């Protein structure tokens, strides 16, 4: 297997990078917001009590794939604790929630499968064989299909959610890392080994274009102004050159490049598309991008080697997986602050939030 700096296998080699641009003292930490250093108290719990009635929104669960323990931790976001642990396949990495809230799908890299979890029973209900070393699972906007990036076979498997069968296999670029399905639009796949994004037309299930981005592109998100397209712009985390590429889905061309922290990996947008959160694996921070001006407006210290990031549907919380210390950092968004640190399984990678 090829090992590149954008891959999970290479991230351990980057663990010696400099620490986050912050200062930590006894019971305090610097938080850089719009160029201003703010001291916040930190500890086992954080700024706000996760157990108070209003600290967390109700009826929302965060699903965390634990690569090192072959499981998914289900965090009750109202209580701020793990309410269930679901056994899945070997080496779970990427994880995606169906928009209808009924299923969560996790890509199991080490046994070439995808596990479907029923969100009502919190049990694994199906295991689907896919391509080699699946890295990510993304559900279509109508919850009917699951797109799986197969790192080891340079392809995308398309699963019919109703039958649990692979119905299409689409060749893409070298070392596909992540998938993003745009509402009423195309499907995008980052090719970690080529520095490109493959564009798939879901009407024909064929690759129809290639977009140049940064070095070792990883995860993607949709955000920003909607002029000319109802989906905004595509934001791509480039692990190898510490940037985020902004791509127009109208022209399928890059329109901006944003410097962020070291080795950005995970990325997610706020529900209104105004902000983009980037997990920087190399310096233990999350960069916050203003999608209107395409610039970083805040940098937040989190745990060790943050990898995945997801935003709650009500835009009140951001969940960040820290694969270096087996935790999830929970950020409050208004005001922006560290709220809690939740222990999960070994080597947490992906995270998805669903309202059920």
Instruction: Set out the domains of the chain in order of their start, with CATH numbers.
Output: 8-354 (2.130.10.10)
Handedness of CA 132, 136, 140, 146 (dihedral sign): positive
pLDDT at residue number 224:
83
Inter-CA distances, 297 with 218, 273, 293, 307, 320, Å: 22, 15, 10, 20, 18
Inter-CA distances, 24 with 20, 279, 306, Å: 10, 19, 17
Which residue in 355, 279, 350 sits closest to 68, CA to CA? 350
pLDDT at residue number 48:
27
| Range 69-105 burial, b when 16+ CB lie within 10 A, else e | bbbbbbbbbbebebebbbebbebbbbbbbbebbbbbb
- pLDDT by residue, tens only, the chain of 356 residues: 333 334 433 333 333 333 333 333 333 333 333 333 332 322 222 222 222 333 333 457 999 999 999 999 999 988 889 999 999 999 999 999 999 999 999 999 999 999 999 999 999 999 999 999 999 999 999 999 999 999 999 999 999 999 999 999 999 999 999 999 998 889 999 999 999 999 999 999 999 999 999 999 999 999 986 544 556 899 999 999 999 999 998 889 999 999 999 999 999 999 999 999 999 999 999 999 999 999 999 999 999 999 999 999 989 999 999 999 999 999 999 999 999 999 999 999 999 998 65
Which residue in 267, 247, 263, 94 sits closest to 177, CA to CA? 94
pLDDT at residue number 40:
31
3-class DSSP state for residue 26?
coil
Which residue in 84, 30, 85, 81 sits closest to 55, CA to CA? 81
Tokens read off for 13: 């080699």
- CA pair distance 189, 349, nearest whole angstrom: 18
pLDDT at residue number 309:
98
User: Would you say how long the chain is, in residues?
Assistant: 356
Inter-CA distances, 248 with 59, 67, 218, 223, Å: 34, 33, 17, 11
Burial of 237 (0-12, 13-18, 19+ CB in 10 A): buried
Q: Is the pTM for the entire model greater than 0.95?
A: no
């Amino acid at each position: 297997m090829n090992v590149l700096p954008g891959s999970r296998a290479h991230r351990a080699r980057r663990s010696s990078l400099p620490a986050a641009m912050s200062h930590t003292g006894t019971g305090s930490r610097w938080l850089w917001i719009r160029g201003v250093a703010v001291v916040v108290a930190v500890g086992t719990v954080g700024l706000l009590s996760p157990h108070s009635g209003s600290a967390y929104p109700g009826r929302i669960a965060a699903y965390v794939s634990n690569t090192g323990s072959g499981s998914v931790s289900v965090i009750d976001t109202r209580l701020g604790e793990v309410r269930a642990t679901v056994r899945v396949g070997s080496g779970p990495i990427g994880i995606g929630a169906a928009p209808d809230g009924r299923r969560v799908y996790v890509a199991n890299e080490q046994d070439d499968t995808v596990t479907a979890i029923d969100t009502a029973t919190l049990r694994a209900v199906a295991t689907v064989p896919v391509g080699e070393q699946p890295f990510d699972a993304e559900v279509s906007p109508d919850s009917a299909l699951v797109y799986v990036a197969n790192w080891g076979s340079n392809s995308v498997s398309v699963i019919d959610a109703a039958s649990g069968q692979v119905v299409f296999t689409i060749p893409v670029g070298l070392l596909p890392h992540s998938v993003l399905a745009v509402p009423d639009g195309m499907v995008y796949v980052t090719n970690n080994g080529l520095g490109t994004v493959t564009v798939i037309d879901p009407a024909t299930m064929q690759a129809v274009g290639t977009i140049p981005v940064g070095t070792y592109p990883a995860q993607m998100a949709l955000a920003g102004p909607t002029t000319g397209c109802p989906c905004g712009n595509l934001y791509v985390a480039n692990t190898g050159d510490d940037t985020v590429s902004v791509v127009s889905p109208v022209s399928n061309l890059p329109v901006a490049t944003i410097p962020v922290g070291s080795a950005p990996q995970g990325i997610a947008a706020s529900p209104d598309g105004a902000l983009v959160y980037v997990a920087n694996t190399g310096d233990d921070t999350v960069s916050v991008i203003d999608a209107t001006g395409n610039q970083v407006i805040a940098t937040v210290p989190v745990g060790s080697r943050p990898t995945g990031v997801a935003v709650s549907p009500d835009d009140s919380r951001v969940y960040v997986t820290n694969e270096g210390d087996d935790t999830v950092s929970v950020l409050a968004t208004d005001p922006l602050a560290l709220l809690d640190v939740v222990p999960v399984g070994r080597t947490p990678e992906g995270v998805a939030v669903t309202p059920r």
